[in-house]
Amino acid sequence: MVKKTSPNYGLKSNRKAVIFALILIGFLFFDSCSHGDNPFTTSDVKRAQHIVGIDFSQEVIDTILPYLKRNLEGYDSMRSFEIDREVMPAILFNPLPRDFILPVGKDRLVTESPIIARLPSSLDSLCFYPISHLATLIHQKKISSTELTRLFLERIKKYDRILHSFITITEDLALSQAKQADEDLAEGRYRGPLHGIPYGIKDLIAVKGYPTTWGGMPYQHQKIDYTASVAQKLEKAGAILLGKLSSGALARGDVWFDARTVSPWDTLMGAGGSSAGSASATAAGLVSFAIGTETLGSITMPSGINGLTGLRPTYGTVSRHGVMSLSWSMDKIGPICRSAEDCAIVFAAIHGKDILDPTTYDTPFSYDDKQLIQNFRIGILKNDIESDTSSGAPNLKQVLAILDSLQLSKIEKKLPVDFPFNVFDIILRSESGAYFDELVRSGQVDLLVQQDESSRANSLRQSRFIPAVEYIQANRHRTRLIEKMHEFMKDIDVLIAPPSAQNQLLITNLTGHPALAIPVGLDSLKHPVSMTIIGQLFEEDKLLEFGHALQKITDFHKVIPPLFKPDEDN
């Protein structure tokens, strides 16, 4: 047996430690007393300087201590006032370049639907049908919304115990909405292609009467007494809400307070990004489409991992009223679907000005599915594509070969490089720190599941040490980036990029440009891979028209995860 003993530091060492400690305590006491009632000392300020990379002299520090004390008193005073979470900062982000003119016109949605719709031999197959085909079946009364809703609910109960993509199933609400949709149709009130179509919504988005947990332990019983604008618009369009889909805790990753959301393509792998539930449920046919949110990749990344088509719209095109904010100046809401056309149908219903969200714009969405791929000016990040070593690199090159076979001309482009990219993430972290100020100060941030170095909890804690000056400076460089990207995109309609292209995800989320993730096949492990298509500001119509034109000549978006195929396909 090995005997456990306490370390023996020796009497002499202990005496030295005690003497050193007494000297240090005495110094701190003297230093504190020398500054009267100040809650911090010159030593505190000296140490704090190193965090922000400055070095003031002792004389200067002595003169600023009263200011710092007044600042702290102001902070304490401000914290005694309650502020509604919907209140945005007075300084709103403006993504418009200097010479940019907002598009004008009328909304238009032209999609192709079957003239005569037929039900499949296995109704389970309907869970993977395009929205336009489901809409035709409902409109022609081949199937009722109630029947379709029950079909999806059965799949949720069968498969979600594996995927963990739902936090809350809103079965009663769904059946009630479906019943109303059927009654409306019977009385001749048809609301459009989303009439009676079941969907799911990310659990950062409020729905009255149900928990909105934000995926975080401190909020798992939170109920918000109003419904977010995006959910209201979908209800007005006739869509049927099946439930609240999992979000990584406070929009971080695919781990929430109860479980990890996995991909239906590989249940040993996370579904990727904070819109994990939206992507996993859609890919497995548990919803016909889903709503996700993105600040820095949470629509495009999980869409790519799960073989889906996901639209991250231009900043300010979809209202965020009633939605948790991670970054007021970067957050966007968009659809995660099986195809570009499905994204167009959903985006047509949710975009537009909302007086409850002062960052939204009134711009038209005019989509026509008959646009030919030859009509688009195409840019490519040639160097990034050639140097791409990701598992999806061969697939993307295969797609480019298809475009070459059509003799389409492509303009080679290089993204801007002369910017301080390693500092831009303080914009997101500063704004999230402000939104979750009370969570951090109360200590409840300690209740989040993940607590490691890269966790949301740690990101919120360190945000307290970002100087306001550096936040503003980063935004000034962001203004330069907006102008540079505007010039960069002027001669093209769409830009093709590998998802891993250097800084493309950060750049386009900072500038507010729309992006479309579309599947380009499976890699050697039979996992989906994707490519990114970037569009002009407020030109989601062209972006989706190009995506649809490409998907008309490829079948990558029609592949279904083997374990979740309908019975007739297994």
Question: What amino acid occupies position 118?
Answer: R
From the number of C-beta atoms within 10 Å of its C-beta (0-12, 13-18, 19+), residue 82 rates as: exposed
255 and 347 assigned to the same domain: yes
Residues 33 and 163 in one domain: no
Torsional sign, CA 492, 494, 498, 503: positive
How confident is the model at residue 66, as a pLDDT? 87
| Cβ neighbours for 4, distance < 8 A, ≥ 6 positions apart | none
Q: Which residues of the chain have pLDDT under 50?
A: 1-36, 570
The count of C-alpha atoms lying within 13 angstroms of the C-alpha of 564, restricted to the half-sphere facing its C-beta, is 29
Please check whether residue 38 lies inside any domain of the structure.
Answer: yes
Quote the pLDDT of residue 308. 98
The answer on 252 and 384 residing in a single domain is yes
- 151 and 251 together in one domain: yes
Task: Answer whether residue 10 is part of any domain.
Answer: no
Whether 450 maps to a domain, the answer reads no
Query: Based on the structure, what is the number of domains in the chain?
Result: 2
What's the pLDDT at 386?
94
Residue 538 lies in a domain: yes
Q: 247: which residues sit within 8 A by CB, 6+ positions away?
A: 167, 202, 203, 204, 214, 215, 256, 274, 275, 276, 277, 293
User: Could you tell me if residue 446 is inside a domain?
Assistant: no
Q: Are residues 39 and 114 in the same domain?
A: no
Between CA 517 and CA 292 the distance in angstroms is: 13
Q: Is residue 519 part of a domain?
A: yes
Residue 509 and residue 404 share a domain: yes
pLDDT given for residue 5 in this prediction:
35
- State whether 289 and 168 are in the same domain: yes
With 0.85 as the threshold, say if the pTM is over it: yes
* Cβ density class 167-177: b for 16+ within 10 Å, e for less: bbbbeebbbeb
Tell me, what CATH number does 182's domain have? 3.90.1300.10
Residue 192 gets the label, from left (phi > 0), alpha (psi -120 to 50) or beta, of left
In a domain, 540, yes or no: yes
**Both 152 and 293 in a single domain?**
yes
Range of the domain at 41: 29-83
Given this model, what pLDDT does residue 371 score?
94
Question: Which pLDDT belongs to residue 115?
Answer: 75
Based on the domain organization, do 247 and 305 belong to the same domain? yes
| Residue 98: inside a domain | no
Specify whether 116 is located in the same domain as 48.
no
Among candidate residues 20, 49, 83, the one where a domain is terminated: 83
Q: Are residues 148 and 54 in the same domain?
A: no
Q: Which residue in the block uniquely carries the two structure tokens 């409109």?
A: 139
Q: Are residues 187 and 60 in the same domain?
A: no
